[in-house]
Amino acid sequence: MAEVPEALGGTTIPEGNPPWFDPTRDAILTPRRLRGLVHPIRLRLLTLLQDDGPATASQLGRLIGHSSGVTSYHLRILAGHGFVDEDTERGNGRDRYWRSHYRATHFTFRSPDDPGDDETVELAEQYMRMVIEGYYARMVRFVDSIVERREELRSAPWTFSDNQILLTPDQARALAAEVTALIRRYEREGAAERPGAVAATFQFQMLPDDEPAAS
């Protein structure tokens, strides 16, 4: 078993984490550990800190359209649950910088000591709905910008698609691990070493195909 950091519950998760998983930099979320994160503002703040690095409450507030008082309140809640902490190497006494405690968070139902009771499953459902709404909003923003991006799109690599595949559960787990390991090679942390690199988001979903078959 692998240990989950104490800030996120200190429990255990099943064996078999992919090779890219680093328990000092990646957080495992289970339904119970979602408390404190299931709020649209807090989820947005955590995502910004993970994607773009440390920032002040004022900077984050301008990005999400809220006052620094609102963002400070939600940052303190995130800190209390171990998701963020203060970046003491930044700031000048007036400006308090916050950073994500982990580079990424990963959700699972597989923790052996996190009960799947109705309350925690409902919490997980709320979390997944917020995450999916964020995915959808990003895709809509892209589609809405097509007119102004016409010239860019002649040579740009941006795309989205779906592919129908047939997998055993073991094959599905292996595929997800392989894709994630590949994406890790292009993380933003190494962008300075890649001249001409632009920030992008890779969205990957692997879901059961419940569409009714044609009769």
- Give the mean pLDDT per block of 10 residues along the chain (215 residues): 45 53 74 84 93 92 94 94 88 82 78 67 89 91 92 87 90 88 79 76 87 64
Q: Architecture of domain 2-159 in CATH?
A: Orthogonal Bundle (1.10)
Domain ranges of the chain: 2-159
Q: C-alpha angle with apex 89: 88 to 93, nearest 5 degrees?
A: 65
Place of tokens 């004022």: 58
Q: Is 126 left (phi over 0), alpha (psi -120 to 50) or beta?
A: alpha
The answer to whether 72 and 65 have CB atoms below 8 angstroms apart is: no
Question: What pLDDT score does 69 carry?
Answer: 94
| DSSP secondary structure string for all residues of 114-172 | S---HHHHHHHHHHHHHHHHHHHHHHHHHHHTTTTTHHHHTT-------------HHHH
For residue 56, give the nearest of 95, 94, 17 by alpha carbon: 95
User: What is the predicted pLDDT for the residue at 43?
Assistant: 92
Please give the pLDDT value at position 82: 86
pLDDT at site 56: 95
